[in-house]
A and B are shown apart, each in its own frame.
Chain A
Amino acid sequence: MLDDSASRAIRRHSAAAYPEECCGAIVGRADGSVRTVTAAWPLTNTSADDRQHRYTIASDEYLMVERRARDEGLALLGFYHSHPDAPAAPSQFDLLHAWPNVDYLIVSVVRAAAADVTCWRLRDDRAGFAREEIQWRPAS
């Protein structure tokens, strides 16, 4: 489940970062196989490479996210990033760098406007991603 406010925050961040990739963390509640994203926290893309095609979340920001999630009683559910002018499907590079047990939301940004949003989870054998269903939850 993706809360409307989190979804909007992700799309806004993706459009603002265009033509660079943006990245951030998604947090919320995990209840068995149903995970509910209640907030998206924008992070800095610190990739030393071409930031139009690459993102990296620095170690200190990662640790900050874990601390903040713990302090606020939220679960770190995964990460989002954008694919400027590219489809919202994981690349080989995404697969190579993927961590298990977290969700990867990918936002396709076409000419500065966020288009598709998809969600992916690394398979346990690291051989690929499994696509996860997203349900949008309107703001209450």
Chain B
Amino acid sequence: MATRILIPTPLRPYTDGSDTVELEGATIGDLLKALIARHGDLRRHLYSDEGKLRNFVNIYVNDEDIRHLQRESTPVTPKDTVTIVPSVAGGSTLVERDSPELTREEIQRYSRHLIMPEVGVDGQRRLKAARVLCVGAGGLGSPATMYLAAAGVGTLGLVDFDTVDASNLHRQIIYGVPDVGRRKLDASKERLQTINPALNVVTHEVALTSKNALEILRDYDIVVDGTDNFQTRYLVNDACVLLGKPNVYGSIFRFDGQAAVFAMPGGPCYRCLYPEPPPPGLVPSCAEGGVLGVLPGIIGVIQATEAVKLILGAGQPLVGRLLLYDALSMKFRELKLRRDADCPVCGDHPTIKTLIDYDAFCGITPPKPAGTGSSVPEITVEELKAKYDRGEDVYLLDVREPNEYQICRIAGSKLIPLGQVASRVDELDPSRELIVHCKVGGRSAKAVALLQDRGFKNVFNLKGGILEWIDRVDPSQPKY
């Protein structure tokens, strides 16, 4: 007894025009072999040169795709109906663009890629044609761009406007000591082209804003988010959703990291995960809270891996899953993420159709123009020094954390971390003039306001914090 095979229109000229062929076989593989034996011209349309079933050929047993059964080993009986369904697909040039050939040197360089079926010559050419933008040339951007450059991505765009600081070096491994003070993009470009001279590096030495983001992102296939603040993260996300570009997200704080691929069709975006930014100041930045130096290495390399997989179309991308990494317990966890149908940017009825004001969205007001002053009374480091010079008995409160206090301090200060000021307020004498400081002046301003609420009349914020003190008064102490 034979099994019925339904032939689709494009292939009927090879089966003498008939839409049904009946053949005997125990599995799909057997049936297809028998089909090709009878109608030889079908082979090149169903099978690749390597003898594999082409991926745009769908075979159904009754109404099940054999990919969900046992593929070509799926058993069939005469009662079954086998349907060959063409997956009709195509598109304009995406990453293959002009599909550049590999040079002899490139074949040598990428030989360990080329021998893997998931990459091969085709995949390596796709990498060569690909354009990846990395927003932020810092902790995450360093390893991500170095690996993408090494792997053979043809064009890397970089967005950053910072210079290299000594405090960057413990994690931003693309830079070395001689780079301190240089513009990050100059140093990055040089290093990346040492890794891969064929790499085309495009530098965008600007702050990414609502005005320029679409213009900059438009030219790339994939965006890697290596930003360190919420405004830019929402901006990158929204721009990626609006342009239909995958957003390979990563973030790090202290010992914890996160990664995901957002803005893929049907998948969630960053707003589906975090519809609202945290209140300003609640989540400290890496500059305030610290970060383990090797942490961005792990997360940035995960981002590079995902970008390469997207270009190759290999494996399962990190879509619909949020990867959480905890370096202290050395554990990875995965949370399921779904696209939110009510998401204002990627939902079914989006309300955000152009880029918005992300500083306002994140509750960050632009810095006050000079001269309008601060809302709490301030004292400068020079005025503080003058008090010491006059031999005054200065009453100084340091609201930093104990580990910061260990690095540097102003002699004679009393340490009460900001979080404890409210509960330990009775340790302070409200009758005396009190000067409060922290690292740069933000936390101490909060402490001053809190103390004013508690009835302290004579309390001042040290403008610029201990860093300003070290810069202008006591350079013998280390900065952090």
Rank and list the top 8 A-B pairs by shortest CB-CB distance, nearest first. A53-B94, A86-B92, A54-B91, A94-B90, A99-B10, A83-B92, A57-B88, A56-B89
Q: Give the contacting residue for A55; candidates B41, B56, B89; CB below 8 A.
A: B89
Q: Is the CB of A48 within 8 A of B85?
A: no
Sample of 15 further A-B pairs with CB below 8 A, known A91-B92, A100-B10: A21-B91, A49-B313, A53-B91, A53-B93, A54-B89, A62-B8, A63-B83, A75-B9, A84-B92, A91-B96, A93-B96, A97-B88, A97-B89, A97-B90, A101-B10
Query: B11 an interface residue at 8 Å Cβ cutoff?
Result: yes
Interface size class of B (residues with CB under 8 A): 20 to 34
Interface residues of A in 88-131 (CB under 8 A from B): 90-94, 97-102, 104, 124-126
**A19 vs B85: C-alpha distance in the bound complex, in angstroms?**
28
Point out the residues of chain A lying under 8 angstroms from B10, CB to CB: 99-102
Q: How far is the CA of A83 from the CA of B9 in the complex (A)?
A: 25
Q: Mark A44-83, 1 if CB is under 8 A from B, else 0.
A: 0001111111111101001100100100000110010101
Residue of B nearest to A126 (CB): B44
Complex: A63 Cα to B84 Cα, angstroms: 10
Taking residues whose C-beta sits less than 8 angstroms from the other chain, chain A's interface range is 35 or more
> Which chain A positions have C-beta within 8 A of B44?
125-126
Scoring B residues 61 to 87 as 1 if CB is less than 8 Å from chain A, else 0, what string do you get? 000010000000000000000010111
Report whether A93 and B13 are in contact in the complex, using a CB–CB cutoff of 8 Å.
no
Shortest CB-to-CB span from B306 to chain A, Å, is 14
Q: In the assembled complex, which residues on chain A have CB atoms less than 8 Å from the CB atom of B86? A: 62, 99
Q: Which residues of B contact A19 (CB under 8 A)?
A: 244
Check A52/B244 contact, CB under 8 A, given A84-B92, A93-B91.
Answer: yes
Residues on A with C-beta less than 8 A from B9 are: 66, 69, 75-76, 101-102
A93 to B244, alpha carbons, bound, how many Å? Answer: 19
Contact between A47 and B91 (Cβ–Cβ < 8 Å)? yes
Q: How far is the CB of A79 from chain B (nearest CB, A)?
A: 5
In the complex, which residue of chain B has the Cβ closest to the Cβ of A57? Answer: B88
Chain B CB within 8 A of A20 CB: yes
A79 touches B88 (CB 8 A): yes
Separation of A51 and B92 alpha carbons in the complex (Å): 10
CB-nearest residue of chain B to A24: B88
0/1 string, B37-64, CB within 8 A of A gives 1: 0000100110000000000101010000
- The contact string, 1 if C-beta is below 8 Å from chain A, for chain B 259-284, is 00000111000000000000000000
Say yes or no: is A23 at the interface (Cβ < 8 Å to chain B): yes
The smallest C-beta distance from B120 to any residue of chain A, in angstroms, reads 13
Q: Is B245 an interface residue (CB 8 A)?
A: yes
| A124–B216 CA distance with the chains assembled, in angstroms | 42
A101-B11 contact, Cβ under 8 Å, with A48-B265, A59-B85, A63-B85:
yes
Q: Offer 30 A-B interface pairs, CB within 8 angstroms, sorted by A.
A: A48-B265, A49-B265, A50-B244, A50-B246, A52-B244, A54-B89, A56-B87, A56-B88, A57-B88, A59-B60, A62-B85, A63-B85, A66-B9, A75-B9, A81-B90, A83-B92, A86-B93, A93-B93, A94-B90, A97-B87, A97-B88, A97-B89, A99-B86, A100-B11, A101-B11, A101-B12, A102-B9, A125-B44, A126-B44, A126-B45
Cβ of B99 within 8 Å of any chain A Cβ, yes or no, is yes
Seen from chain B, the residues whose Cβ lies within 8 Å of a Cβ on chain A are 8-13, 41, 44-45, 56, 58, 60, 65, 83, 85-94, 96, 99, 221, 244-246, 264-266, 313
Report the Cα distance A19→B214, complex, angstroms: 14
C-alpha gap A90/B90 in the complex (Å)? 9
Check if B8 sits within 8 Å of A57, measured CB to CB: no
Q: In the complex, how many angstroms separate the beta carbon of B50 from the nearest chain A beta carbon?
A: 14
Q: Which of A79, A94, A101 contacts B91 (CB 8 A)?
A: A94
Output the least CB separation between B134 and chain A (Å).
19
Binary interface profile of A, 27-58, with partner B (CB < 8 Å = 1, else 0)? 00000000000000000000111111111110
Contact B58 A59 (CB under 8 A): yes
Q: What residue in chain B is nearest A58 (Cβ atoms)?
A: B87
Among A48, A53, A59, A126, contact of B266 (Cβ-Cβ < 8 Å): A48
Contacts A54-B89, A54-B91; is A101 near B83 (CB within 8 Å)? no
Could you give, for residues 12-25 of chain A, a 1 whenever the CB lies within 8 Å of some chain B CB and a 0 otherwise?
00000001110100
**Identity of the chain B residue whose Cβ is nearest the Cβ of A51 in the assembled complex:** B265
Provide the residues of chain B in CB contact with A86, threshold 8 Å.
Answer: 92-93
Write out the residue numbers on chain A whose beta carbons fall within 8 Å of the beta carbon of B266: 48
Nearest opposing residue in chain B for A78, CB measure: B10
Q: Considering the complex, give the chain B residue whose CB is closest to the CB of A55.
A: B91
Q: How far is the CB of A61 from chain B (nearest CB, A)?
A: 9
Minimal beta-carbon separation of B196 from chain A (angstroms): 24
In the complex, are the beta carbons of B99 and A59 less than 8 A apart? no
Chain B residue at smallest Cβ distance from A79: B88
**Are A57's CB and B89's CB within 8 A?**
yes
Task: Give Cα A83–Cα B313 distance, bound, in whole angstroms.
Answer: 21
- Does B11 contact A91, Cβ atoms closer than 8 Å? no
Question: Which of B8, B85, B88, B90 meets A93, CB within 8 Å?
Answer: B90
Residues of chain B contacted by A83 (CB below 8 angstroms): 91-92
Question: Which of A66, A76, A81, A93 is within 8 Å of B94, CB to CB?
Answer: A93
Please determine whether A99 and B92 come into contact, CB atoms closer than 8 angstroms. Answer: no
Specify the chain B residue showing the minimal Cβ separation from A63.
B85
Chain B neighbourhood of A98, CB < 8 A: 90
Task: Look across to chain A and name the residue whose beta carbon is closest to the beta carbon of B57.
Answer: A99
Chain B residues, CB < 8 A from A90: 90
